[in-house]
């Protein structure tokens, strides 16, 4: 009888361990699949603004002088934005007129508006008072 109980407990333990391993492998596969989906589709589509849209964003955002980055940083498209830089939501009228901008935030560096992809912390557009950059 003792041998039978030991056999049953050992079998139950092995089945439990197999289920745990299978569950972990399945969870890892699902997690990997989700990450690949997000990476391949991206959270934010590429932003292409017309000169009129760039001008409207500049005019609207430039009104609020309080949202200026405390320090300078590289503002070329594709550059990484330091984590200590505070990012702001674009004004509601800009979001309404340009729904594609809902994925982005901005900060100001000198007289330029710097649009940032907040998920990747990368500069995606720089809008200044002069010609488009």
This prediction has a pTM of 0.61
Confidence of residue 36 (pLDDT cuts 50, 70, 90): very low
Residue % of the chain over a pLDDT of 70? 62
Q: What is the pLDDT of residue 129?
A: 79
Give the burial string for 72-107 (b: 16+ CB within 10 Å, else e). eeebeeeeebeeebebeebbeebeeebeebebbbbb
Q: What is the pLDDT of residue 75?
A: 87
Residue 46 has pLDDT above 50, yes or no: yes
Kindly report, residue by residue over 80-91, the tens digit of the pLDDT: 999 999 999 999
Residue 98 neighbours by CB under 8 Å, 6+ apart: 49, 53, 56, 57
Confidence of residue 20 (pLDDT cuts 50, 70, 90): very low
Output the average pLDDT for the chain.
73
Residue 64 CA to chain centroid, in angstroms?
Answer: 25
């Amino acid at each position: 009888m003792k041998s039978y109980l030991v056999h049953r407990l050992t079998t139950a333990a092995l089945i439990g361990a197999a289920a745990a391993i299978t569950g972990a492998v399945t969870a890892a596969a699902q997690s990997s699949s989700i990450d690949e989906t997000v990476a391949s589709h991206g959270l934010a589509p590429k932003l292409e603004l017309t000169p009129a849209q760039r001008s409207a964003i500049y005019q609207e955002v430039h009104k609020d002088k309080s949202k200026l980055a405390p320090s300078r940083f590289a503002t070329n498209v594709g550059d990484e934005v330091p984590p200590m830089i505070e990012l702001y939501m674009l004004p509601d009228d800009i979001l309404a007129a340009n729904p594609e901008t809902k994925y982005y935030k901005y900060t100001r560096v000198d007289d330029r508006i710097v649009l940032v992809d907040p998920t990747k912390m990368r500069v995606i557009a720089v809008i200044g008072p002069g010609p488009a950059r």
